[in-house]
Chain A
């Protein structure tokens, strides 16, 4: 998205743009959620990246060893180097099952699964096809994770999936989270907590995992609680790319500390971090990256012209929450305003409803895959504002 937008704005004679990437494929990550239930086939979430890069952009298919900010240089895994005037880091975060003792043990992809990778989601689809019930535990290891609503969606969709197969009464579901409630922000947490209740999904909160006991098939917390499972669907710890840590650019999770409004590194004026790779206090979600990049483009032009950056990001996030039975809910929030009920994007009219489960929201979510490939990645403007608006929202008591 950055390359597409900046190539249009920066004259080719003055600026060369180089994209360094270790993976030739782009994955539509929101689609992972629907693979385990057989709604999406794994082939539906993958396309080659070259299709989405504009002319006039160089690409290097290489792993990055490290960034040497004092030299304005990137060092590749094969030892070659690349000098830069300005560096944009957009390497995201990845699930790291190796960070929790016992997670990648004898039960890994046998009764312990993740769904935040294509391989994990596909293996889980195979498992669910023949699973005949028992204790299903849906688990978040540690916050922050990308798409923080996805584990809840997984639980809702699983409830619906077992219901359809006539086996819901043979499945005991527990939702285990390090948070105090179902979600992070009070009004949404209450609503989503009630949705777990309605579906008879037990909530185990404040659970901070220490290890997985493969013999007992149990999650063990630091305060010595144990939760046994027959099938565990876990979200491993998410961390930024290792090269960020090696380069001394990251925090304790290898995310890059940046200014919340401009994404400029707090240590280096010519380094920016966008999307999940940054440590900004909002959801790690595609919508955030999309809204952020609109403002970033304007800021970046000001920055290279030596002007002050004036387009401050507000942390705007907008997420569909699949709730099962062909319905979904929509939430819209930012750094300061938590998700509230109302209509979106047109105040009073919608057509989408905030914080309410509707069929139209579900269709909105399915349609989004098309929007993603055809408008978002090529860097086209969507007809929704980048900054959050209070118009159309109702203020409610917590």
Chain B
């Protein structure tokens, strides 16, 4: 774990750059994190990100794609358009959450 400065804010990140402190996240930070991976954060992106943040608060783990689709109502196809190639990983990165561990 190390410190990084993102959007002029000092935050804790792991060696892949994922935020490690839930409370250090905010939407300004999310915009910069998204820009880091070539995503221009818009309304529909934020809907998914906010769902992930809320769900993590109650469940203590990052939602899988199926969970996002089932509970937020955003179709999987659209998630792949919003966050190309690796939506689960990219959403977690932007939402300041750990990589989903649903896969063991």
Contacts and interface: CB of A to CB of B under 8 A. Distances in A.
Given A142-B66, A252-B67, A281-B61, A223 B80 contact: yes
A193 interface: no
Interface string A175-214: 0001110001100000000000000000000101010000
Interface in B38-88: 61, 64-67, 70-71, 76-77, 79-80, 84-86
B103 A143 contact: yes
Interface in A134-157: 142-144, 148
A347 B36 CA distance: 45
B104 A223 contact: no
A286 B64 CA distance: 24
A144 B65 contact: no
A142 B102 CA distance: 10
Contacts of A253: 66
A251 interface: yes
B101 interface: yes
A180 B88 CA distance: 11
Contacts, number: 42
A178 B70 CA distance: 18
Contact of B77 (A148, A179, A206, A222): A222
A143 B103 CA distance: 5
Contacts of B104: 143-144, 148, 184-185, 281-283
A328 B70 CA distance: 39
The interface size bin for chain B is 10 to 19
A143 B77 contact: no
A252 B100 CA distance: 15
Interface string A215-244: 000000011000000000000000000000
A376 B23 CA distance: 46
Given A180-B86, A180-B89, 12 more contacts: A143-B103, A143-B104, A144-B102, A144-B103, A179-B103, A184-B104, A185-B104, A223-B84, A252-B67, A252-B71, A253-B66, A281-B104
**Top 5 A-B pairs ranked by shortest CB distance?**
A143-B103, A252-B70, A222-B80, A223-B80, A252-B67
20 contacts: A142-B66, A143-B103, A143-B104, A148-B104, A178-B103, A179-B103, A184-B103, A206-B86, A210-B77, A222-B76, A222-B79, A251-B67, A252-B67, A252-B70, A252-B71, A253-B66, A281-B101, A281-B104, A282-B104, A283-B104
